Every structure is written in structure tokens, then in C-alpha cells.
Amino acid sequence: MTASIINQTATSVTIQVTIPLASTMLNSEDTIQSVLNEAGQLATAAALKSFDSDGRPMEHDGQRWTSKGQSPKQYQSPYGPIEVERHTYQPSQGGEIYCPLEVDGRIIGTATPRFAKQLSHKYAEMSSGRVVADLAENHGRLVARSFVQTVAETVGSIAQAKEEVWHYQTPKLSSPVATISIGLDGTSVVLSQQGNRQAMVGTISLHDQHGDRLHTTYIGAAPEYGRATFLARMEREIEHVMGLYPEAHRQGLADGAAENWTFLAPYTHTQVLDFYHATGYLKLMAKVLYPRSPKQREQWMDEQAHRLKHEAGTAPALLAEWQRIDPNQLSAAGQAALHTSISYFTHHHHHMNYAQTRQANRPIGSGVTESACKLMVKQRLCGAGMQWKDRGATMVLSLRTLSYTVGRWQQFWSKINRYGVPA
């Protein structure tokens, strides 16, 4: 071994390392990594032992527990596996086993907390196979895929179990919050033996008086949890943000699904239809009005989109113009397109106050939410050939929403460090 402990006290450990230098820098660096991993294993073993008890009887959960003696257990760290002798306890009547080292050392499964943090963060970004390859190539660390999945799912289940109890602070922002923009959307995920099912994604974005986005909180829910559970999570997050910024204008921003507006209305002062969805119906009407002239279609659509974005009252004006068109002068396809466009604008023209919204420096596009669908769900859960079980998809989404909401990943692990790992 090229690393060895030369001094150890109750509060520190001193390790001496010997690093053979190779003929190439790359080989030398590989050797350095290997030796540092050896040193890390020695230091981690000493750190773990510091959390063990001295074997005396103890009180736990209102009962007297006595040591069953020391027995060996292997734990997994970022540097390699470590086997240590540790005390395990049991009440006099038998039953549950209690290990002070694992509880006080915040062991997750058999992983040290830092290794669990690393594994779960990597698993949030890539498949277990890629995590295994990354650890081997970049950290000199060999682990099994099943171990990566087990640890990551355990961390995700902790996040799920504590989502109603552990509250997270919004990072310190560079400007006062003028607008809270709330959006929600769904996107499909392939579940094993169930086919395509809808996962839900929500965003709560904070904007300053100039319209610049300061922070976004991401909320995600896999299909098994259903819309009701997802909306309950959204409600908790919205109410928390409302309490932080009671003077901010609250805006709902979504596509045309009626259930979105039903949910958003009680929490928002104004509701805005995503501008891109509205322009889709302008494109449809351009074909109705100029079926044989692509150039005129494009010109008309550009003019109406500019008008819709910049001139107040454009949406009801367009609706009135379309209602005056004689459908008998149109083809069957034109009649269907006209009917669809009139119906859509009839239901949503009051959500198309884009000129006023822009003047107030508030967003008119749900790009943040749609991007969140791609970022949270599509990039990780919808790779070629991927099929998920409910639990796996749920845990990955829990990890990704924690990881991508600025500040939450660090706060989550700070809470584990402080409160421990729930049973």
C-alpha cells in the first residue's frame, strides 16, 4: 500500500502517501488518483469509527438497548469500499437492530453520505450504466449498476418522504421580485406494460420589474402520482412563494387546456395564454384566407402576430373579423379550420392581453415551462428504448427537480446532514 496512517487522535488522522512517478504525465496522474483513493479509504475508515459507540448500554426510543458486540460491515465511499467493526444494538426483548455508526454517520444503505450524494446527482443526469462508466473512468471507482440504482432511489425516496416537511429557502436574489409567473404542462413517458403516460411539470418563476427572470422552482411528478397529487405539490410551493413575496403580481401562464386555468385562477391576478399557442391559430387562419398564396399567408401572419403582440384589443378584433367570414365560401377543410380558430379565440381571447402584459414587463410565453418538460422529463426519461417502472421514474424526477432548482440540492443534503436519514 502506498498510503498509510502515521498518526491518529480522537479528532484527526495524519496519512502519509508515496506516489511513484511514471514515464508520462497521464500515467502519473492515474497513479495519483489511485493513491489518493487509498488515502481516502483510510481516512474514511477512521471517520466512520469516530461515529461508533463504546459498547455501553444506551437509551433509544424510550427503551434500553444493549450491544450485541462488534461485527464487520462493508461501506461504500467515493474512494473505495471500507470494512469496519461496529457495534449493533438490540432491546432486551429482541427485534429491531440499531447501529449508532450508521445513524450518526448518516449512512444511506451502505453508502457514505458523500458517495450517496455523488451517485444520486450523477444518476439524475444519466443512466446507471453511464454512471458506472463515469465512476470507473474519471474516479477510479468500480461499482455495480444495481448499487447505483438502489442508492439513487433511496435518496429519491427520502426527498419524496420529506417534501411536505422540509422547506427550502429561495436563494438571495439580485433584485426585488415584481412578478411571480406560474406555469404547468404535461409530457409523455413510456412506462413498462402501460405505454405512454403523462408526467406533469410545473414552474414558478420570479421576475424583476424589468422582466428579467431571477429564479425558477421546478416541480415534477411521474404518471403514477396523478394530476391531483402533482397539483397539491404545486399548491404548497405557490403558497410558500406567495408568503415570501406578497406584493408581487402573480401571473398564470399556460396553454389552452381548461384544467390549467381552473387550477391557476385562484392563485393568480392575471392569466396569459402562451403566445406561441395563439400564433398557431393565426397560421391556421392564414391558410383559410390565402389557400393558394404562400407569400400572402406569411405576410398576413407576420402582420397579425405583430398586431396581437403590440396592440391592445387585437384578440377580440380578430375574433370579430373571423366571425364575419362566410363559411359557405370556403372548402370543407377551410370551414373546419375557421370553426376551430373561432372556437379557440372565443374561449381564450381574454387570456391574450399581450400588449398590456409586455408593457408591464411580464412574460407572454410559456417557454420556461415547456423547456422544463424537456429538461426534467425528456432529456432523462425519454431516451431511445427507455421504459420505466413507476418508482424509477418518480425517483429520477425527484432528484432532477432538486438538482435543477438552484440552491435546493445543497439544502436537501444539509437537512440530511442535520436531521439524519428517515427510516
Q: How confident is the model at residue 385 (pLDDT cuts 50, 70, 90)?
A: confident
Residue 80 lies in a domain: no
Percentage, residues of the chain above pLDDT 70: 99
Q: Give the alpha-carbon dihedral of 397, 398, 401, 405, to 10 degrees.
A: -170
Question: What confidence score (pLDDT) does residue 214 get?
Answer: 97
Question: What confidence score (pLDDT) does residue 422 get?
Answer: 81
Q: Same domain for 232 and 285?
A: no
Question: What confidence score (pLDDT) does residue 366 get?
Answer: 86
For residue 137, the Cα-to-chain-centroid distance in whole angstroms is: 26
Cα 251 to Cα 98, 256, 271, distances in angstroms: 50, 15, 6
Question: What confidence score (pLDDT) does residue 258 get?
Answer: 86
pLDDT tens profile 302-311? 999 999 999 9
Residue 256 lies in a domain: yes
Q: Same domain for 264 and 282?
A: no
**Over the chain, what is the mean pLDDT?**
93
Q: Same domain for 219 and 193?
A: yes
Q: Are 399 and 162 in contact (CB under 8 A)?
A: no
pLDDT tens profile 200-241? 899 999 999 999 999 999 999 887 666 788 899 999 999 999
Range of the domain at 252: 179-270+377-395
pLDDT tens profile 286-345? 999 999 999 999 999 999 999 999 999 999 999 999 999 999 999 999 999 999 999 999
Report how many domains make up the chain.
2
Q: Are 21 and 28 in contact (CB under 8 A)?
A: yes
Q: CA 1, CA 18: separation in Å to the nearest integer?
A: 9
Place of cell 404548497: 236
Residue 87 lies in a domain: no
Residue 308 lies in a domain: yes
Q: Same domain for 283 and 265?
A: no
Encoded amino acid at 323, one letter: Q
Q: Are 308 and 314 in contact (CB under 8 A)?
A: yes
Residue 34 lies in a domain: no
Q: Same domain for 243 and 290?
A: no
Q: Same domain for 256 and 281?
A: no
Q: Same domain for 281 and 264?
A: no
Percentage, residues of the chain above pLDDT 90: 80
Between 261 and 224, the more confident residue is 261
pLDDT tens profile 79-115? 999 999 999 999 988 888 999 999 999 999 999 999 9
Q: Same domain for 222 and 281?
A: no
- Residue 193 clears pLDDT 80, i.e. is over it: no
- Residue 163 clears pLDDT 90, i.e. is over it: no
pLDDT tens profile 26-77? 999 999 999 999 999 999 999 999 999 999 999 888 889 999 999 999 999 9
Q: Same domain for 313 and 187?
A: no
Q: Same domain for 203 and 335?
A: no
Domain containing residue 385: CATH number:
3.30.420
Residue 220 lies in a domain: yes
Q: Are 87 and 70 in contact (CB under 8 A)?
A: yes
Exposed e or buried b for every residue in 41-50, given b needs 16+ CB within 10 A?
A: bbbbbbebbe
Q: Same domain for 265 and 283?
A: no
Question: What confidence score (pLDDT) does residue 149 get?
Answer: 95
Question: What confidence score (pLDDT) does residue 4 get?
Answer: 94
Residue 109 lies in a domain: no
Mean per-residue pLDDT, 128-142? 96
Residue 6 lies in a domain: no
Q: Same domain for 300 and 319?
A: yes
